[in-house]
Amino acid sequence: MKADPAPQPRILVLASGSGTNLQALIDASRERGFPGQIVAVGCNRPGAFALERAAQANLQTFVVDHTRYDSREDFDATLMAEILRHHPDLIVLAGFMRILTTDFVRAFRGKLLNVHPSLLPRYTGLNTHQRALDAGDKTHGVSVHFVTEELDGGPVIAQAEVSVASNDDAESLAEKVQAKEHVLYPIVVRWFCEGRIQLGADCVLFDGDPLTTPMRLPDN
């Protein structure tokens, strides 16, 4: 008798908005040989288009509407309970817009990834494209990092750069950065599912070795 194939890592995606990163992950996960399976999509906004994308892909969904909770602690406790029902090995923040409490982040330490639209450590938080423009940066980009208590401060796994043109505005820059996100995020999720990346004490381990500088997607 043939041995059962090893179960694939279970991926849960959290989104808040249009879900283009979710879509990129759905598409990648359907390629032959992808080493993980998306088991559910959670969202904090009832009307988000990400939910339609998930339904279209026949994925289970759940909504925890943050406006219905008095505190972040209560919201996170409910979110955590919903997540645990799906027994994920990896939780992927894909345009998820709620800051998570320390308790939540600690409960899933080493299993939480985020895609952030800047070259961290530059521009943590919101409004990153306008801030890069205002600073006169010639390059901008995207980072994928492990989520820790420190907002957008967890160890960076990989980055991709875009060049800023003199006629770029926040919208055109966001478009360029998002195109990179859709390539970079599935690559990093694949690495995670293959067991190649881990969160060490205070850095990323890649194939067991500390990563001294983030991995880079070649600039075209």
Residues that bind ligand NHR (CB under 6 A): 93, 96-100, 105, 114, 116, 125-126, 147, 149, 151-152, 154
- Indicate if 140 belongs to the active site: no
For ligand GAR, the closer CB: 92 or 197? 92
Which residue ranges make up the site for ligand GAR (CB under 6 A)?
A: 15, 17-21, 50, 94-95, 97, 115-117, 126, 178, 181
Least separation in angstroms between residue 214's CB and ligand NHR is: 15
Per the listing, tokens 């901008």 go with: 140
The CB-of-126 to ligand NHR minimum distance in angstroms stands at 5
Alpha carbons 91 and 86: distance in angstroms, whole number: 11
Distance CA 5, CA 33 (A): 12
How is residue 113 written in tokens? 């990834």
Cβ closest to ligand NHR, residue 152 vs residue 168: 152
Question: Among residues 125 and 208, whose Cβ is nearest to ligand NHR?
Answer: 125
The entry of ligand NHR, ligand GAR, none near residue 94 (CB within 5 to 8 angstroms by kind) is ligand GAR
Q: Cβ contacts of residue 102 below 8 Å, gap of 6+?
A: 149
Where helices occur in 85-210 by DSSP H, the ranges are: 102-107, 128-134, 170-193
Which of 41, 191, 173 has its CA nearest to residue 117?
173
Catalytic residue among 66, 86, 116, 129: 116
Structure tokens at 35: 């080493």
Q: Enumerate the active-site residues.
A: 116
